[in-house]
């Protein structure tokens, strides 16, 4: 009897080893498909429980949206700070958990350089070269994230229309590249804009050309840029070699690089000197550049999805766990 039991146990172990060997021989897609089929078999007959989980998800999303909108309207500054912290910490958690070392390296480089830029922007007294350095860095991040996001989107469209077949590229490989690049572009675009706003707020208060009442507290010469404090050598009507000179509707003049960084990157639509409203359409004669403004609005809309969606899903999982739903 003992020998018969040992023989059965040995046969079952051999079958299990053979199944594991078969799983190792399967491709990643086939393994995922097999696991998906097992999941369907496991949850068969649980339709009522699944419907309850869907209702919990919808209710949580609605309540979370109402709470976030009210928070943003009543305490915008704290909402933006917490959102920025979420944007910075949540991807780091998933990166370490899932071993995404490539993203971790880019995240580390961005964090180190941006921390130095913020350190320079918050020093008092403010160095005359700091504003240009700050805006150049965030404008570079802005353009790179825009380009990477567009390339990622084109790669996704390239795969969806089947053009990858002509280049003998697997659909999952080209789709993975497109999704990763799109995520990189959106993530660093949002982070760059938020940090740029923090720096521009600090520098505006440090430069001190206008106070909280909107009146200038310092005198500005006609040949000095109010953003960087440096002289303007190119007239408004002249074409500069490196950059042009812009004149706003309030007749104050600025370096092109400075005022574009102030308005587009730092989301400031007021004159740095007199606090008058700035008409961005007058600044952008090139129609292709208007897409950058639309892209900035898209980043504002996606901030909710990137920063708060994982937290909301975590709350949903907690509710399901507490109710015994699987």
Contact 144, 156 (CB under 8 A): no
- Phi, psi torsion values for 17, nearest 5 degrees: -65, -40
State whether the Cα torsion 265-268-272-278 is positive or negative: positive
DSSP states along 278-295:
--HHHH--SGGGHHHHHH
Residues 17-38 pLDDT 10s: 555 555 555 566 677 777 767 7
Average pLDDT along the chain = 76
pLDDT at 237: 65
Residue scoring higher pLDDT (1 or 69): 69
Residues 80-89 pLDDT 10s: 888 888 888 8
CA dist 231 and 221 (Å) reads 9
Count CA atoms closer than 13 A to 81's CA, side-chain side: 5
pLDDT at 181: 92
Strand residues in 195-266 grouped as ranges (E): 245-247, 253-255
CA dist 271 and 281 (Å) reads 15
Going by pLDDT thresholds of 50, 70 and 90, the confidence category of residue 112 is: very high
Residues 207-252 pLDDT 10s: 545 555 544 555 667 777 877 777 777 776 666 566 778 787 777 8
State whether the Cα torsion 9-12-16-17 is positive or negative: positive
Q: How many CB atoms lie within 10 A of CB 309?
A: 15
CATH fold of 208-285? Herpes Virus-1 (3.30.40)
Contact 81, 307 (CB under 8 A): no
**Res. 110: pLDDT tops 90:** yes
Domain layout of the chain by residue ranges: 81-192, 208-285
């Amino acid at each position: 009897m003992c020998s018969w039991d040992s023989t059965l146990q040995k046969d079952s172990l051999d079958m299990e080893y053979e199944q594991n060997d078969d799983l190792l021989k399967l491709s990643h897609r086939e393994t995922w498909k097999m696991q998906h089929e097992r999941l369907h078999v496991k949850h068969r007959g649980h339709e009522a429980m699944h419907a309850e989980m869907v209702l919990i998800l919808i209710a949580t999303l609605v309540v979370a949206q109402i709470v976030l909108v009210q928070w943003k309207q009543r305490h915008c500054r704290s909402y933006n700070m917490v959102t920025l912290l979420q944007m910075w910490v949540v991807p780091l958690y998933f990166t370490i958990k899932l071993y995404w070392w490539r993203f971790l390296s880019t995240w580390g480089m961005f964090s180190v350089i941006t921390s130095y830029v913020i350190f320079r922007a918050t020093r008092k007294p403010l160095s005359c070269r700091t504003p240009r350095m700050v805006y150049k860095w965030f404008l570079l991040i802005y353009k790179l994230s825009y380009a990477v996001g567009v390339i990622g989107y084109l790669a996704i469209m390239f795969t969806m229309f089947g053009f990858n077949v002509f280049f003998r590229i697997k659909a999952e490989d080209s789709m993975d590249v497109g999704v990763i690049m799109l995520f990189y572009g959106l993530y660093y675009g949002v982070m760059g804009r938020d940090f740029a706003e923090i720096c521009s707020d600090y520098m505006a208060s440090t430069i001190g050309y206008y106070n909280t009442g909107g009146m200038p507290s310092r005198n500005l010469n006609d040949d000095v840029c109010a953003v960087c404090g440096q002289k303007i050598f190119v007239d408004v009507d002249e074409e500069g070699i490196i950059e042009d000179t812009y004149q706003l509707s309030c007749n104050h003049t600025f370096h092109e690089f400075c005022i574009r960084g102030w308005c587009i990157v730092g989301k400031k639509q007021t004159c740095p000197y007199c606090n008058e409203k700035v008409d961005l359409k007058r600044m952008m004669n090139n129609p292709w550049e208007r897409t950058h403004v639309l892209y900035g609005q898209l980043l504002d809309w996606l901030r909710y999805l990137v920063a708060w969606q994982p937290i909301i899903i975590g709350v949903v999982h907690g509710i399901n766990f507490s109710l015994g739903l699987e």
